[in-house]
Amino acid sequence: MSNIPAGLKYTAEHEWVASPTAEGTVRVGITDHAQDALGDVVYVDLPEAGETFDAEATFGEIESTKSVSDLFCPVTGEVIAINDALESDPALVNSDPYGEGWLIELRPANAADIDSLLSASDYEGEIAE
């Protein structure tokens, strides 16, 4: 059983999105299910702050001992920050996918788009299939 925190939103591509901050930005990462499927993460390729991406566009790659996977932007928006800690310790994605292993901070073009993402129970149903 994967760890699927109830307070987050999810994508079918196994990204999670935290609730917007007071500044309107959201943190994005990959789910516990995704990090488990990937195995030991050895490298994360993230965009530069200031880059913008459409919903479902590839914003980076995550490399594990098993494979390389694309990272997909959950909603259209601008990257405000990236998690620099992953440069020296990409395994944070494995050890703490919902905390220290976050990937990017995004300013959504339309905050309402987050509401259309999967709830924890919807995501749980998605990965159970």
What's the sign of the alpha-carbon dihedral 57, 9, 19, 91? negative
- What is 39-69 written as a DSSP string? -SEEEEE---TT-EE-TT-EEEEEEESS-EE
Q: Residue 57: its pLDDT value, please?
A: 98
Give me Rg for the CA atoms of the chain. Answer: 13
pLDDT tens-digit profile, the chain (129 residues): 569 999 999 999 999 999 999 999 999 999 999 999 999 999 999 999 999 999 999 999 999 999 999 999 999 999 999 999 999 999 999 999 999 999 999 999 999 999 999 999 999 999 987
Q: Residue 129: its pLDDT value, please?
A: 77
Q: Calculate ∠ Cα 2-74-112, nearest 5°.
A: 110
Sequence-ordered alpha helix ranges (H) in 2-110: 32-38, 85-88, 92-95
Q: Residue 2: its pLDDT value, please?
A: 67
| Domain range list for the chain | 9-118
Q: Which CATH class is domain 9-118?
A: mainly beta
* Whole-prediction pTM: 0.95
